[in-house]
Amino acid sequence: MSKPIQSEFQKAAIAGEGQSSVSQMTEVKAFSAQELTDLKLIHSGAGAPSALKAFRDLRTRLMAIKEEGNFACLVVSAEPGGGSHVAVNLAAAIALDKTKSSVLVDCNLYAPSVGQYMPGGADVGLTDYLDDTSVSCEDIVYGTGVKRMRAIPVGNNKDGGTEKLASGRMRQLVSELKARYSDRYVIIDAPSVSNYEAEVQILSELCDFVLLVVPSGQITESVLNAHIERIGKENLAGVVFNER
């Protein structure tokens, strides 16, 4: 039997890491600049300074909405594709600030992407936590190749996604992720609202606000307004037009 991969909190316990400050977090091996570029992740000194600036600006605007404390932000695409790119780079932009950290939660159960950012892999993830009360929050949060950015992968059982995300365990997880570190921001990568409206509505109720990602020039204004109505105008922080 292979040795279990240690989660973030298991490693923290071994290292004597506290649970209150980003400065005490342990890290896994960081991606090189070339690896970050290959993964289309923003980073200091990146070859695409306009993208770096755009995500830093987006980070600043969202933090201005929630002036005190951290937040949980749902990133949802209007149509399939594009949302995960914005979610991971928003999490990376937050982690660029050495006083803050982020955790990227993969709730895109049918098109997961978070695993590629975790050099050490994972044994269990979100769906394992939602299915099994013996799996704790500590077991499913892993280090990524981006300093100060953590990730929760989808896990091993993707059946019954709507019911899983609507469970009390999911609400408990989001609350615990926000409460554990005051300087950690929770970014939830959701499936597209066009295909998974029920899941998006469930997740939006767990978050402080929603960021809608729209493929630039590919949907009409009426379709965009319909998506906004489904999400709820009161929950919407803003719209990101993304070039595919």
**Per residue in 62-107, pLDDT tens?**
999 988 899 999 999 998 888 999 999 999 999 999 999 999 999 9
User: Which distant-in-sequence residues (6+ apart) come within 8 Å of 99 by Cβ?
Assistant: 22, 183
C-beta neighbour count of 19 within 10 angstroms = 14
As a whole number, mean pLDDT of residues 24-52 equals: 85
As a whole number, mean pLDDT of residues 35-44 equals: 93
Token look-up 């993830």 returns 125
209-215/149-152 β-pairing: unpaired
Confidence class for position 216, pLDDT limits 50, 70, 90: confident
Strand order in the sheet with 184-189: 142-143, 149-152, 101-106, 184-189, 72-77, 209-215, 236-242
Q: Which is more confidently placed, 218 or 203?
A: 203
Q: Which is more confidently placed, 13 or 98?
A: 98
Confidence class for position 45, pLDDT limits 50, 70, 90: confident
User: How confident is the model at residue 242, as a pLDDT?
Assistant: 83
The listed CATH number (3.40.50.970, 3.40.50.150, 3.50.50.60, 3.40.50.300) that belongs to domain 8-12+25-242 = 3.40.50.300
**Do 133 and 169 touch, CB atoms closer than 8 A?**
yes
Tokens for 105, please give them: 């939660």
Q: How large a percentage of the chain has pLDDT more than 70?
A: 89
**Per residue in 155-212, pLDDT tens?**
998 888 899 999 999 999 999 999 988 899 999 999 999 999 999 999 999 999 999 9
pTM comes to 0.89
